[in-house]
Amino acid sequence: MFSASEHLIERQKKELRYKRLLGLISLPLFFPTILIMVWLWMKGSPALSWDFITMDPIHGMKAGGIFPAIFGTFCLVFLSILITCPLAVTAAIYLSEYAPHNIWTRIIRLAILNLAGVPSIVHALFGLGAFVLFFNMGTSILAASCTLAIMNLPVLITSTLESLKSVPQAYREASWNVGASRLQTIQHIVLPNSLSGILTGLIFSVARSAGETAAILFTGVAFYLPFLPKSVFDQCMSLSMHLFTISTQVVGVPEAYPYATALVLVGLILGVNFVAVGIRFYFRTRKKW
């Protein structure tokens, strides 16, 4: 048995000190989230009940529940992710595995970074002109979901690119040496080892889509609907828009209602994030490096 050298022991101690220091720096980042959740619970818990979650709004949204807004939010998030994920992953695979390193790919990468910095209200105007008017989708769930998909593309492309780059090049070379094609290598080696990074981008996309208001304001979300949408070409309600509406546009809403709605919205986002983080942790434990 070989004993660790003094240099190795000292390096391990140094790494442990830095790890603890970074942990202490990261710890205060949890406090704002905890404070916000406690504050929302104190303000919104009087209105929070099973009926509040499962009933429709009544009396001009001054009473009742928020079920249509919850249902509409799930529809928007699910459809936007269904549109975004294949496009973003395909684009990232092309840029990482196939595209040559020239001026055109650099321009594409720069455009992706610039798209990530575009304000959401600009995405809303683009969605109004492109999907609602030009493609004649009307104000619908489909138009709003396409707008959210365009807004989330740069985040998911960037996270997928970084995840693909993290796969060691030796894995690709070993696969090629045993006769696998480039496509087979991507399908069986690169993508399975990149799933944790792709899921990270999906987490951000889900959270942003669920809490977005401006991007869906002109494209598919209604002020109030007394019924659930029957197809993707119908309008829907959303939690973020409903929260904005009852907080600023409706007079006589009980004080606890907006806080209860915000608590449900934040709780849903945190719940989806916890599930995604659990899945991501599972795939990370299966990595071979």
Give pLDDT, residue 93: 92
In contact, 88 and 201? CB cutoff 8 Å: yes
Compute the C-alpha angle 109/163/210, nearest 5°: 80
Give pLDDT, residue 31: 83
Rounded Cα distance, 50 and 45, in Å: 12
CB-side neighbour CA atoms (13 Å) of 186: 16
Q: Work out the number of other CB atoms within 10 angstroms of the CB of residue 98.
A: 11
In contact, 98 and 172? CB cutoff 8 Å: no
Q: Pick from 38, 57, 59, 80: which is nearest to 202 by CA?
A: 80
pTM: 0.87
In contact, 201 and 109? CB cutoff 8 Å: no
Q: What are the phi and psi torsion angles at 170 (to 5°)?
A: -60, -30
In contact, 179 and 167? CB cutoff 8 Å: no
- Domains in the chain and their CATH numbers? 45-285 (1.10.3720.10)
Residue 141 is encoded by which pair of tokens?
């769930």
Rounded Cα distance, 254 and 35, in Å: 23
Chunked in runs of 10, what are the mean pLDDT values of the chain (289 residues)? 69 84 81 87 91 89 90 93 93 90 88 87 92 93 94 91 88 87 89 84 85 88 87 93 89 90 90 79 68
Give pLDDT, residue 188: 87
Give pLDDT, residue 287: 62
Contacts 24+ apart (CB under 8 A), 64-68: 66/239, 66/242, 66/261, 66/264, 68/225, 68/227, 68/228, 68/236, 68/237
Residue 26 is encoded by which pair of tokens?
């990261």
In contact, 186 and 98? CB cutoff 8 Å: no
Rounded Cα distance, 129 and 135, in Å: 9
Rounded Cα distance, 229 and 251, in Å: 26
